[in-house]
Structure 1
């Protein structure tokens, strides 16, 4: 195992984690962006299974897709870019219509993080640290955040998030990697077979804002408990699939009945990715609105080219009862973990 460090554009550094099995994970200190994950297919050929720009300047200039980045302070959409804590109103930047998306235009995806590499007999990784000051982006509290990426020899990539705030605040951190198990963008994710341990998802309105209703997945294209191909949702004519741009951009609440919270399989490559987390749910986004023609590492972008598994609590909790809360009380420790394991179908 080892870590390579490369200077990027004279202002950033890219850290590449190598395990003894040949898997690599590359991460920028800018945005904590995962730029590449190389894993083998059934024939032993390594390929990149995440979307990333060919020209790294695009991460700064064209950041609206959030490729591979750490998202915060609050991942997802906050209705009317405002919320209250203990009857105190807080007003945020509206960067998507009247609403805020992914922490606003100056969110953690644009922060240059302080990085500390580490290595031991079992793992290699990096620790990323950032301090967000009270009032930044309209959010209360001085908050210290640490995100740790760890790679082991059993091809597990663990993302750990920890934070503390001196004021009660809203916090929901996630990573926004777009996965494509075909490798090197050979195809879209339409034939990715996905299993999700979830019996309910959050209903969205026409602006992709949660309505406050949880909907049963029974007899819908949102029922992934037994697994299904993503293209079934792309082709579905139901209102919720159409609202999301003929696909998925919805929060799934985990049941915690199955061994894994989610499993993604791609039959032509033989790759399989399992995901386990202590988060209460995740947004699955299937790049329904990804624009054509962005210059990615292996070719041009297009619709349905990746699937995001954004593990987090729900910002809908700021306006509706009955959703996993994003409120972090002053002095308490925010501690979350998500583990992605890469393997091959048996």
Structure 2
């Protein structure tokens, strides 16, 4: 294992670093402490050739200019909250409604966790390197109650496993839902559409949404619908049955297949390169978004590559969207004395 740290820039007078993790198999992961952004993941294909399999930029300036959460942490509450409103113990809170098309609260607001410089510590063992990123989100930040102490650990092992761990405590009742928002293309970030990727989701049910992208509160079976990924299926085949080809759905993990303490969440495979990515998590759900909105703005990534619609997909392990307003959904409330703690593993390899 190897770790390197280099200066990446500065934000609000705070130093921003780029941390590079690499293992003996040739896998390389680059992370910046600005927004906990995973800027790059290089993985070998079946012939040993490396390609960068996440969408992103080569410079801090490009991230500062704006992006659709490429590789960043989303929080304090990832996904959407209806009208930006929620209540805890009969006290109502109003958050920003920062998603223009839906007028909902999205990913913590216009200045969420992805737009802060985080402190960090490095931990090295014989078979892993871990980056422990940390910050305190003060009471009232973006409208959320409570001083929230957050630690987000990103680590790489010799077995090509990428770990995303989240831990948080608060001094007031608050809500928390933290995710990594990387866009994956296992053929390479500059290879075009992910339509030929094969996807398996370990979920029998999903949560339907209204036109505002807020869950209706229903839980429906995927069986007999175009949202069924219980067996490996070419993503493009499913896109043909969806208006505009766009997927942005929350799937409920059934937990029938386990990996130790983790639920199997997803298995993504690119036949052209042989690369696969298995996702395992302690979270109850996963959001599958196939990047259909990437063409809404011109995004130019590394080496000037233009990222078009379907150029990368997200598999975000999470709590349910709008859980604070749906009492029958798993609770997103974190109370003083309790610990928010979730872990996800992305296992890379070839077939």
TM-score tier (shorter): over 0.9
CA distance in 1, matches of 2:174, 2:327: 17
Q: 2:186–2:269: 8 Å Cα contact kept in structure 1?
A: yes
Find the aligned partners of 1:214 and 1:246 in 2 and give their Cα distance.
22
Q: Please say if residues 157 and 339 of structure 1, whose CA atoms lie closer than 8 Å, have aligned partners that are also in contact.
A: yes
| Corresponding residue number in structure 2 for 1:319 | 325
Report the number of matched residues: 338
TM-score (norm 1): 0.95
- Equivalent position of 1:286 in the other structure: 290
The C-alpha deviation readout for 1:295-331, integer Å capped at 9, x for no partner, is 1114111000111011110132222232222111222
1:201-280 mapped onto 2 (5 Å cutoff): 201-236=206-241, 241-242=242-243, 245-259=244-258, 260-280=264-284
Q: Which runs of 4+ in 1 moved over 4 A?
A: none
Contact 1:51 1:180 in 2 (8 A): yes
The CA distance in 1 between the partners of 2:334 and 2:9, in whole Å, is 36
Which of residues 49, 57, 79 is equivalent to 1:45?
49
SS at the partner of 1:39?
A: strand
- Helix, strand or coil: the match of 2:64? helix
Q: RMSD of the alignment, in Å?
A: 1.3
Post-superposition offset of 1:194? 0.5
Specify the alignment match of 1:151 in structure 2. Answer: 156
Task: Work out the CA distance in 1 between the residues paired with 2:252 and 2:189.
Answer: 31
Is 1:81 matched up with 2:84? yes
1:36-78 per-position Cα deviation (integer Å, ceiling 9, x unaligned): 0001001110010000024431211213x00000110000010
- Does 1:92 pair with 2:91? no
Is residue 16 from structure 1 mapped to residue 10 from structure 2 by the alignment? no
Using structure 2 for the length normalisation, give the TM-score.
0.93
Deviation string 1:187-245 (CA, Å, 9 cap, x unpaired) is 31101100011011111111211111111101112111112111123211xxxx43xx5
Unaligned runs of 5+ in 1: none
- Mapped partners of 2:48, 2:127: distance in 1: 23
Q: What does residue 261 of structure 2 align with?
A: none
- The question of whether the paired residues in 2 share the 8 Å contact of 1:195 and 1:225 is answered with yes
What stretches of structure 2 of length at least 5 have no aligned partner? 259-263
Note the alpha carbon deviations across 1:63-109, whole angstroms, 9 max, x for none: 3x000001100000100001001110001111014310000011001
1:113-192 pair list within 5 angstroms: 113-192=118-197
Does structure 2 retain, via aligned residues, the 8 Å contact 1:132–1:143? yes
Q: Secondary structure at the match of 2:245?
A: coil
Deviates most, 113-122 or 152-161 = 113-122
Q: Secondary structure at the match of 2:146?
A: coil
Q: Is the 8 A contact 1:33 1:70 kept in 2?
A: yes
